[in-house]
Amino acid sequence: MAERKIALTATGQVSGQPAYYHGYTVTTNLSAAAVTLQDGVTAAGTVIDVIPASTTAGTTKILATPVKCTAGIFATVAGTGTILFLYD
């Protein structure tokens, strides 16, 4: 189970160090733009997950096997909404 959480409403780092990505909960509806997660501390990293555009509040995705991110976790939030990311 994820030990750390961070809520983002804009593009930024979920974790600035190596971590395991466990999933997310959308807490405020997303606009018509997807959210992309990368293994890295910038948007240049390998894509590890994409949250579809217009995902509604209350949507949760928990990975059965967390994704190991060797550089950190970065989220590109192209529109509006709030996402709670789960990691450790």
**Mean pLDDT over all residues of the chain?**
96
pLDDT at 1 over 70: no
Pick from 4, 1, 3, 8: which is nearest to 74 by CA?
8
The region that residue 58 occupies, defined by phi over 0 for left and psi between -120 and 50 for alpha, beta otherwise, is left
Q: Which domain holds residue 77?
A: 4-87
CA angle centred on 86, ends 75 and 22, rounded to 5°: 95
Supply the pLDDT for residue 56.
Answer: 98
Span 22-38, average pLDDT? 97
Position 17 confidence tier, pLDDT thresholds 50, 70, 90: very high
pLDDT tens string 67-83: 999 999 999 999 999 99
Q: What is the pLDDT of residue 32?
A: 95
Query: What was the pLDDT predicted at 76?
Result: 97
CATH number reported for the structural domain that contains residue 81 in this entry: 2.60.120
The number of domains in the chain is 1
Predicted model pTM: 0.94
